[in-house]
Amino acid sequence: MGIYKYAFYKSPNIGIFVKCNDNIIILPLGFASTKTTILSRYLEVTDHIYVSIADTRLLGPMMVMNNNGILVSYITSDEEIAVLKEKSQLNVERLKTKYTAIGNLIATNDHGAIVSPLCNDVKSQIQDILGVSVISMSISDFIQTGAMLVATNKGAAAYPNISDDEIKTISDILHVNVEPVTINGGIPYLSSGIIANSKSAVVGNMTSGPELIMLSRAFNV
């Protein structure tokens, strides 16, 4: 349990490339096995899946997952979905929306999901696959809700200028405390630089000491 700094492809934007829940890490095809071992140890998971989404390694923006299910962009191939289903043993579906970067629109844990107003017409599908209550809201007038919020079953980190009312709403749905914070030396778009589960969190290597303290408090690790 803890919080760790890391970089992939010489980038601190590690959340763009990797997704995880409490049991599995999903990594791009060709990802170094040595780094997979390190991440597995940091996040205390035993299983990993190598896959592309729409023939890219940008797994973060193209996926949403919790311990119950996985939603992927509509441009995900049948072969990629088959890999995810077989390896994860979870429900996996394309989200029925024209928007491709669904990871930037949806934040979830095992208690609830906070989704962009752009996802209003697919709230029932999100609820069915992820097995959670769903509400739609923007955060500080940004409709990219999933980019502004990262949640686990133990806590959540949110866009630094989030209002107290927004914090209360999110906390009530996700059943966790919500902390305003930045990553990678002041970046407010949190999902780009965080990979987290209920055990640990890994953040971009540009994250400062004060940010690490706040993120550790946010995720209770």
208 phi/psi in degrees, rounded to 5: -85, 170
Query: What pLDDT does residue 1 have?
Result: 80
Residues spanned by the domain of 136: 2-219
168-190: string of b/e by CB count within 10 Å (b at 16+)? ebbbebbebebbbbbbbeebbbb
Which position has the token pair 């601190």? Answer: 12
Distance, CA of 158 to CA of 31 (rounded, Å): 28
CATH code (residue 180): 3.75.10.10
The first and second tokens of residue 210, run together, are: 């004060």
The first and second tokens of residue 174, run together, are: 């996700």
pLDDT per position in the chain (221 positions), as tens?
A: 899 999 999 999 999 999 999 999 999 999 999 999 999 999 999 999 999 999 999 999 999 999 999 999 999 999 999 999 999 999 999 999 999 999 999 999 999 999 999 999 999 999 999 999 999 999 999 999 999 999 999 999 999 999 999 999 999 999 999 999 999 999 999 999 999 999 999 999 999 999 999 999 999 99
The first and second tokens of residue 178, run together, are: 């919500």
Q: Say how many C-beta atoms besides its own lie within 10 A of residue 103's C-beta.
A: 27
Strand order in the sheet with 91-94: 63-65, 69-72, 91-94
Q: Please, which residues have CB within 8 angstroms of residue 33's CB and are 6 or more apart in sequence? A: none
Query: What pLDDT does residue 16 have?
Result: 97
Q: How many distinct structural domains can be found in the chain?
A: 1
Cβ(190)–Cβ(147) below 8 Å: yes
The string of DSSP letters for 29-72 reads TT--HHHHHHHHHHHT--EEEE--BTTBS-HHHHEEE-SSEEEE
